[in-house]
């Protein structure tokens, strides 16, 4: 049965918006997930009296070493923030490129995003930083590592997957 016409209704126009520039989308994604993860780390370590700048400096310590990073003040905190946002943008870009060719990455953003975040946690915290960092972790902290794993899944992986899903126009 056909719906009755609405005599005074305006016609529906479906305007298609152009996609934002890919580089801007990736940079925005890196800023969003990087900020969420940094705020998580700052809140976690604030309980033990660690200032927020120290968290950013600890990221820069991966490159410059602990002494240089912690002695550098605001400059090394900014360098740590910049390098972390660059890393997060690369994480966004890698998922986005993979999602172009693998539909399941767009169709199952919760599962695939959580797995992607967990994979990055393992890659960063269990392999790359301990092996190649100028400042590898001094000791293993089970509660911190579990919290980081969950943060990577929920604050990084899932949002990255949702962003790719949105970019490619899936609802």
pTM assigned to the model? 0.83
Mean pLDDT of the 75-101 span:
96
Locate 35 and state its tokens. Answer: 């900020």
Task: Evaluate if residue 46 carries a pLDDT over 60.
Answer: yes
Tell me, what's the pLDDT at 121?
Answer: 96
Please state which of the ranges 55-64, 127-136, 150-159 shows the lowest mean pLDDT: 127-136
**Residue 117, CB-side half-sphere exposure with 13 Å CA sphere:** 25
pLDDT of 65 higher than 80: yes
Name the pLDDT band for 126 (thresholds 50, 70, 90). Answer: confident
């Amino acid at each position: 049965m056909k719906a009755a016409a609405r005599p005074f209704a305006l016609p529906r126009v479906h305007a298609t918006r152009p996609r934002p520039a890919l580089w801007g989308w990736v940079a925005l994604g890196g800023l969003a997930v990087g900020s969420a993860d940094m705020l998580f780390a700052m809140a976690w370590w604030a309980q033990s009296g660690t200032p927020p700048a120290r968290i950013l400096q600890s990221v820069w310590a991966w490159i410059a070493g602990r002494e240089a990073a912690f002695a550098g003040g605001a400059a090394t905190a900014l360098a740590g923030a910049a390098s972390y946002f660059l890393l997060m943008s690369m994480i966004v870009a890698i998922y986005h490129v993979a999602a172009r060719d693998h539909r399941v990455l767009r169709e199952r953003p919760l599962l695939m995003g959580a797995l992607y975040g967990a994979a990055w946690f393992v890659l960063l915290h269990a392999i790359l930083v301990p092996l190649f960092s100028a400042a590898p972790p001094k000791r293993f902290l089970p509660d911190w590592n579990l919290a980081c794993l969950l943060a990577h899944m929920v604050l990084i992986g899932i949002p990255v997957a949702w962003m790719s899903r949105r970019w490619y126009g899936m609802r």
